[in-house]
Amino acid sequence: MEHQAIILYGGNYSEFECARAERLRQQQASFEKQQREIAHIRSFVDRFRAKATKARQAQSRLRTLARMETIAQAHVDSPFNFEFRQPAKLPNPLLRLAHVDAGYGDTKLLSAIGLSISPGDRIGLLGANGAGKSTLIKLLAGELAPLAGERVRAKDLAIGYFAQHQLEQLHTDETPFQHMQRLAPLETEQSLRNYLGGFGFAGECVDQPVKDFSGGEKARLVLALLVYQRPNLLLLDEPTNHLDIDMRLALSMALQDYEGAMVIVSHDRHMLRSICDNFLLVAEGRVNSFDGDLEDYRQWLVKRLNTAVPADQQEEKGTPALSKKQIRQQQAEKRKRLQPLQKRLKTLEMELEKLTAELDDIEQVLADPALYHDVAGEKLTQLMSRQGQLKKQQEETEEAWLQLGEELQLAEQEVGE
């Protein structure tokens, strides 16, 4: 019995001593691993806290650190452990778009894109579903040719592109080991198996056909193949869709130390906060730099959703003016179609306000030094537990709010057309 818990050990006393010693050894190793991971984020904060251009990103990393210190212990036994190796070359710039239009066939989705990507850039794409984020990623990857303008790539550009459709391009009758052998035929069998082990492929799983894999296992294999090739530009389109929590954390930590450039599309707000230093906003057929973080994007959405253009101001030049009755009918139809989304959005806003208020109350109590003199510590334990629950609820509610806001924005655009 220790630390207010009871642990049952099998065997006699000698076996208990050995088992407990091993448990403590593993606990210490896990602690050291956690401290190394936390140091990655602290190093970023220490480097950029004093720089005006990076102050906002440093604050974002501090919030990530606070969350990580809370949850890292729950992942100490994660089977995933990998890192990106140093890219062979890092030309500058890696890729440049100049006055580029992008789309499909005769349909233009994005216009006049101007973008230069250099080593060390960590760019997140923001925008509503359907705004063109994946189109931009395909354009950068070279899977989509520009309709106009120039896409200029460095001579030594090495792209690592992750997208959902690549999961279906795996050789279903082959094993993870055979995939790695094709990629690195000169490597020893043991080194390839050790490498795959970092992505959770161990034992019989290494020699199991891909056709029997789940979506998450396929995603991990695609990531393993991508990471091994030492890309200097990563293009990640919803990389965490099929990944479990442990693998998401491992990927976030690996990206912390990645030295190349990265562009990511993701609904995983924690990952965006953790690894992105800059954001691009894809909206209304344009790609523009977004000056701010995810909280600023949330405020931008609020202003946008609250600024509705009256129906009588949406007429295109040359279109006959509508009667007042027709305008009222259009406005009523719009309200009817958008009302469920708006109602849900309002509910989420109220939930966020309540969660934030309760968190503020708990933090005020935790700031009282007298709380830490309680020998039993029961109240402190309860408060810390409740604080962790509230932070998790706050993050999940905020993510739902942002996604719903994007859906409402897109719905309003469709109604206005």
- pLDDT per position as a tens digit, 162-194: 988 888 888 989 999 999 999 999 999 999 999
pLDDT band at 257 (very low <50, low <70, confident <90, very high): confident
Q: Count CB neighbours of 2 within 10 A.
A: 7
Please state, in angstroms and rounded to a whole number, the distance separating the CA atoms of residues 13 and 2.
Answer: 17
CA angle 159, 160, 161 (to 5 degrees): 105
In the predicted model, what is the mean pLDDT of residues 364-378?
70
Residues paired with residue 108 on neighbouring β-strands, in sequence order: 103
Q: Tell me which of 144-148, 285-289, 303-307 is least confident.
A: 303-307
- Nearest Cα residue to 269 out of 399, 414, 374: 399
Mean pLDDT lowest for which of 9-18, 90-99, 103-112, 211-220? 9-18
| 69 has pLDDT over 80 | no
Band of pLDDT at residue 319, cut at 50, 70 and 90: very low
More confident site: 62 or 123: 123
The residue that leads in pLDDT, 246 or 49, is 246
**Residues 199-236 pLDDT 10s:** 888 888 889 998 888 888 898 899 999 999 999 999 99
CATH of 95-296, one of 3.30.70.1560, 3.40.50.410, 3.40.50.300, 3.10.20.520: 3.40.50.300
Percentage helix, strand, coil for the chain under 3-state DSSP, each rounded to 5: 55, 15, 30
User: What number of H helices and E strands is found in the chain?
Assistant: 11, 9
